[in-house]
Structure 1
């Protein structure tokens, strides 16, 4: 059986069996099953992937920028990546806000005051993260790391942009040095081997992926059950509907008319990555597999796909941007805050900007949403209302984020660019 079918079976069985086990979650045998088997299996798999994110991001970006600069393509690729990212993010936010204004899921929503008590610990964490946010000027300055090693250590805790900046700068600096010295740099083969070794670890991890996906989804379903969706079904339907419109219509049109590719074939060849993104809720954890699929199944140029996908894992969060816009307007409706057209435009801009740099880990968008809510006068504690369905919606928006990264890589890809990087499928063979 092909691996993507195994992943799908793991996903389905995890949802079904986890939901059936939900009534028994407090029983001793159930706790032992979760603590001794399910949690370790899922965590081992995720840790294998998170383990290689830092070396893969650094080596992929340095190699990608170095290779593109040697062929005078880095400026072109970076500008096209930014252009398509802004276009796609703008479309996603406008779709989300348009759907909230049309369907108005927050009207008549009954606020349960106890929800704020039962989610106090989660709220405390999110509030602390939001309060720790930096001003725009500080955020720009701190993209440049004082200590690259510290940025690498904290990369999965929100410092990924600093690490990426360091890699981008080193890649360009190596090109400048190589051009001036007229000699091949010894460090480039080393970085290629680090990247290649990371891919081998990905292949090893994928052997246990179906079982890990089952364990992760089983844990979620057994903990929360299906009833968490009942009170927020309308809100969740609006979010999922917006994500589907972005995925099918916006991405489909861009692929067909700009990239000149068949959307059906493109998404069919990407299905393993999308299932993987849905299961893990993490763009960072999905990055290694996305790079492999981009080169082996989608036929993208290695230097371009590695550059765009690595940057996109942090800087292209279309699904997150859409979700943030929907949540802010939904909670405005819940609390009776009437946002003017100007304030809604402010929300659109803030969501587009916030989508760049949102942590590519589960729940990474929640502090950002609180910051946006504060900016337009919505009670930030209202975010507790959507915590019950956030895990499921996080899975959905992460899938769109990863899909968007692949689509933008296809839009940016120019087959006239010559790459001397070894394709992934040759490495794996």
Structure 2
């Protein structure tokens, strides 16, 4: 029985658990919260991997590229791709919000307005300084991903510059990256149980009634994500990467299922790395570098939702936005 379970592909177990979790939650109701701890345990186990996985994989990946020029070329293309897809995503959200107007006609009589919090003033200088870690140990303890990436990049670049003298240290990080991949494979076996518990909790505690007033927004959010996946990513995979679209999506099913159930880019990072390397054949050097960076600064679904949600709020309260406001939203998102 146990052998048969492990013979089933992980993505099939995860998708089945997701569906069964939703059905169980609807049938069980609010009492489904009693198994939420299983999902919390799974998320904690995933997040436990984030810091060592990024650190070892990114340093190993940068060092494995072997050349600073190649590193710059890969990083430059990745950043360009992040900016382009991010802008497409946010303008997609703005377009859907303008066309469908999910906030129009929403009854605001039951909304109680509290005091508007005063945000902390953050300058561009503060943002730049925030990515430079004062203490790498503190960064790791706080799971501050962006400063951790900067520190890891510097270590990897230092190994490249050290050349032969850096090889012993590079081997340590290579071994650490392999070990973390093995640990990730162990934790990934918990995925079906975690996904089942989380989806049962969500379906049982929220149900459909809580989503009625937000039906348009929720529906448009799902539609936007679907369009990003099918049209934007599908087109890039077919015409730029020249890969079979079906094989690509089959290879990343595990990552999509975990990201949907946890709603966390960082929590999905170990699964994404595993899918890219094992299922799609991406080299460890490129995968660890680009995916770790992308999980932090390339969240297209979030960018799309921010554009959509901003218009939703403006429409609820009758605020007219100009084209200049649209451009400002696209930059800030």
1:346 matched to 2:331? The reply is no
Cα distance in 1 between the residues matched to 2:229 and 2:173: 34
Q: How does 1:144-163 map to 2 (within 5 A)?
A: 144-155=132-143, 159-163=144-148
| Among 51, 61, 75, the residue aligned to 2:48 | 51
Q: How does 1:245-256 map to 2 (within 5 A)?
A: 245-256=227-238
Cα distance in 2 between the residues matched to 1:71 and 1:328: 41
Cα deviation for residue 133 of structure 1 reads 6.5
Cα deviation for residue 299 of structure 1 reads 1.2
| Among 282, 289, 300, the residue aligned to 1:318 | 300
Cα distance in 1 between the residues matched to 2:141 and 2:130: 15
| Among 82, 86, 91, the residue aligned to 2:83 | 86
Q: How does 1:260-299 map to 2 (within 5 A)?
A: 260-299=242-281
Which sits farther off after the overlay, 63-72 or 238-247?
Answer: 63-72
1:169 matched to 2:154? The reply is yes
User: Corresponding residue for 1:13?
Assistant: 20
Cα deviation for residue 136 of structure 1 reads 2.1
Cα deviation for residue 208 of structure 1 reads 2.2
Q: Pick closer, same or farther for the CA change 1:164–1:133 going to 2, 3 Å.
A: farther
Cα deviation for residue 132 of structure 1 reads 4.5
1:100 matched to 2:88? The reply is no
Deviations 1:212-248 (A, max 9, x none): 1111111122211121111111111112111111111
Cα distance in 2 between the residues matched to 1:202 and 1:297: 15
User: Corresponding residue for 1:371?
Assistant: none
1:139 matched to 2:127? The reply is yes
User: Corresponding residue for 2:207?
Assistant: 225
Question: What secondary structure, in the 3-state scheme, does the structure 2 residue paired with 1:183 have?
Answer: helix
- Aligned length in residues: 326
Cα deviation for residue 134 of structure 1 reads 2.8
Cα distance in 2 between the residues matched to 1:338 and 1:225: 33
Cα distance in 2 between the residues matched to 1:184 and 1:167: 15
Q: Is the 8 A contact 1:89 1:321 kept in 2?
A: yes
Scaled by the length of structure 1, the TM-score of the pair is: 0.72
Cα deviation for residue 112 of structure 1 reads 4.2
Unaligned stretches of 5+ residues in structure 1: 118-122, 352-429
| Among 297, 314, 321, the residue aligned to 1:332 | 314
Question: What secondary structure, in the 3-state scheme, does the structure 1 residue paired with 2:146 have?
Answer: helix
Q: Pick closer, same or farther for the CA change 1:150–1:132 going to 2, 3 Å.
A: farther
Cα distance in 1 between the residues matched to 2:191 and 2:221: 27
Q: Is the 8 A contact 1:17 1:218 kept in 2?
A: yes
> What's the RMSD between the two structures over aligned residues?
1.9
Cα deviation for residue 334 of structure 1 reads 0.7
Q: Is the 8 A contact 2:93 2:307 kept in 1?
A: yes
Deviations 1:75-124 (A, max 9, x none): 0000000111111111111111011111111111111434668xxxxx99
Question: What secondary structure, in the 3-state scheme, does the structure 2 residue paired with 1:131 have?
Answer: coil
User: Corresponding residue for 2:4?
Assistant: none
Q: Is the 8 A contact 1:48 1:201 kept in 2?
A: no
Which sits farther off after the overlay, 317-326 or 210-219?
Answer: 210-219
| Among 196, 199, 206, the residue aligned to 1:214 | 196
Question: What secondary structure, in the 3-state scheme, does the structure 2 residue paired with 1:231 have?
Answer: coil
